[in-house]
Every structure is written in C-alpha cells, then in structure tokens.
Amino acid sequence: MSTSNGTAYGRFPGARPRRLRTTPAMRRMVAETRLHPAELILPAFVREGISEPVPLAAMPGVVQHTRDTLRKAAAEAVAAGVGGIMLFGVPEESKKDAVGTPGTDPDGILQVAIRDVKAEVGDDLVVMSDLCLDEHTDHGHCGVLDAEGRVDNDATLERYAEMARAQADAGVHVVGPSGMMDGQVGVVREALDGIGRHDVSILAYTVKYASAFYGPFREAVGSSLQGDRKTYQQDPANARESLRELALDLAEGADMVMVKPALPYLDILARIADTVDVPVAAYQISGEYAMVETAAANGWIERDRAIMETLTSIRRAGAGMILTYWATEVAQRLRRGE
C-alpha cells in the first residue's frame, strides 16, 4: 500500500535535513560559516607620480591610487568596518634599481603611503605593508640578484631588514614579508626588535605558491619581471613542504600566517588552520578576482553570489582573515545584512 504521494508506509526517511533549509531566516540561523567585515583586508596599490587613479585593465574596478584617493579608500574601508588594508607601493620606473632602493627610502612611495593612511585613519584600520622587493627592482624579482642572475637569499635578507625598519619608522602596524626567502621572518623580527619596534606584527607569507593566477597583479604593481619565481615560491604539486615552512615561520616569530593563493589551495589552507594556534589569513589573489569579474561581465555567472560563495569557501576552509579586492564592497553588503 502507498500513500497518495507514492511513499510506502513505514518507509519514510529517517531524517529530513531539508527542514533546516526551508526559509532564508532558517538558513541564516543554522549557518555554520559567517563572514564579518572585520575579517576582511583590502589590498591597495598606490603609484608614484600620477594625478588621477589608473584603472587596471585586468582587474575591473581596481585602480592604482594616487596618494589622495588612497586616503579616501582607507576612510571608506573604515566606514564599512573592514579590518585592515595591505599597501603596495609602485615607484616611478626611473627610480627602480637592482637592489630596490625605493623600498628602503624613507621618502619612497610605500613609506609615504603608510604615513598618509596612518594620518587619515590612525588606529581605526590595521595598516599593513608588503615587505618585498619586486615592486621596487628593475628586474622584478623579489630579491637581490647575484653575478649569475640568481636571487641571492642572504643578500636579500639584508634588504628585507632595512625595509622592515623603514616601514616601522613610517608607522605601519603589520609587515608582510612575501618574498619566500629562507629565514625572512627571523631576520625581520630581529630588525624590528633591534629598533625597539616590538609592537609591529609580522604576517608571514608562509605558504606562497608559484601560481599561474598572479598575472593581473603584475600589471597592478608595474612589474618588470623577466622569467619566473619558481626557485623561491613553492611548487603547486607539493603539500607537505607547506607544513615545514609553517614550522620555520612560527619558530622565527611569525604572529600570523598566510596561504596564497586561496581558492586553488583550500586543502592547504585547511591543513594549516588545523595545525596552528595563531591567526591564519588567505589571499584571494588577482587572478581569482579577474576570473569572477570577467565571467560576470559576460553573463556567465551571477557576480554577487559568486563573490560571496568564494569568500565563504575560504572562510569555511579555516581562514580567519581574507585579503580580497572586494573587501570594502563586501563589508558594506554585510553591514546591510545582504
């Protein structure tokens, strides 16, 4: 015998998970993963010598800021409840050299930008700065080159120490050593402590893969790179070495750790998050951003839903902080309850 809907008596499902999906209010109440504006960090580019923002063709909606528009962007981020801003400086091409002098010049664009943002928002926004040479060198690599054109790890560490001191003197809250040099966290910590800046935190780019998704970023920072970074960034095929990098960074004094990129490496992010007792960040990088924006512009996906879905996946995998170019927009949407 069957009921009118065809279900046999005594053979009802033992559980009905769909009961918890019936209405938006129900789904909201039982959601396991939530985004919050304070968990979002806005990466921002400031370019020396421009009077108007320069739109980035490969990253629709993102610009290279002037000093004035950067200050405005920082203020908007604060108003939206964004947690932090990660600054990248783009010096004039004529100022780049083999050792990345603009990166340590007190009047270099990145140090100037740090001071500008601190003057605008004070401590209402966590001001972070990229600690790497690639934006500042004429060869585009993240370090100093030796006579044979290879990145010299230990000579680069000396430059990173100088950069850390310059950025700390400018007033930064957090430095982000991103070059994947061996020993970089320890050297930066020692440099900061050596000038009494024990309060400056280190967000270690602990896991940074040699990814195909960085392309649009290189336009954003005006990269002069020839070749690739496979001798210092991690091989996408490897997972275990991420845990080795993690152990080293923590031993050297990292306050927070990062996985970059985010979406292609959610498995790595989950392993890191399950291992550590320090905050974990993930960087939703330029290629991830560009794919969503381009697909949405062509009508292939729903833009707003795709943005929230990608960010939720990163948060669900274990990131407590997410660097995303949508930080202010998403924070505003979250504040509106969307």
Q: Is 11 within a domain?
A: no
pLDDT-based confidence at residue 12 (cuts at 50, 70, 90): confident
pLDDT at residue 1, rounded to an integer: 45
Nearest to 132 by CA among 261, 37, 233, 26: 233
As a whole number, mean pLDDT of residues 171-180 equals 95
Q: Is 4 within a domain?
A: no
Q: Is 134 within a domain?
A: yes
Q: How many domains are contained in the chain?
A: 1
Q: What percentage of residues in the chain have a pLDDT greater than 90? A: 80
pLDDT at position 11 over 80? no
pLDDT at position 187 over 80? yes
pLDDT at position 219 over 80? no
Side-chain-side CA neighbours of 293 within 13 Å: the count stands at 16
Bigger pLDDT: 221 or 104? 104
Q: Which amino acid is at 125?
A: L
pLDDT-based confidence at residue 10 (cuts at 50, 70, 90): low
pLDDT at residue 84, rounded to an integer: 98
Which residue range(s) make up the domain with 265? 36-335
For 244-292, what is each residue's pLDDT tens digit? Answer: 999 999 999 999 999 999 999 999 999 999 999 999 999 999 999 999 9
Give exposure, 44-82, as e/b (b: 16+ Cβ within 10 Å).
bbbbbebeebbebebbeebbbbbbebbbebbeebbebbb
As a whole number, mean pLDDT of residues 130-157 equals 89
As a whole number, mean pLDDT of residues 68-78 equals 98
Q: Is 7 within a domain?
A: no
The answer to which of 169-173, 186-190, 192-196, 221-225 has the lowest mean pLDDT is: 221-225
As a whole number, mean pLDDT of residues 189-217 equals 93
Chain-wide mean pLDDT for the chain? 92
Q: Is 153 within a domain?
A: yes
pLDDT at residue 200, rounded to an integer: 98
pLDDT at residue 148, rounded to an integer: 87
Q: What is the pTM of this model?
A: 0.93
Which range scores top for mean pLDDT: 4-8, 136-140, 269-273?
A: 269-273
Q: Is 13 within a domain?
A: no
Nearest to 331 by CA among 30, 75, 39, 25: 39
Q: Is 226 within a domain?
A: yes
pLDDT at residue 130, rounded to an integer: 95
pLDDT at position 240 over 80? yes
Side-chain-side CA neighbours of 255 within 13 Å: the count stands at 13
**CATH number of the domain enclosing 44:** 3.20.20.70
Q: Is 10 within a domain?
A: no
pLDDT at residue 229, rounded to an integer: 76
142-151: Cβ within 8 A, 24+ apart: 142/178, 142/179, 142/180, 142/181, 142/229, 142/232, 143/179, 143/181, 143/232, 144/98, 144/99, 144/100, 145/98, 150/231, 151/181, 151/231, 151/232
pLDDT at position 57 over 60? yes
The residues assigned a catalytic role are 208, 260
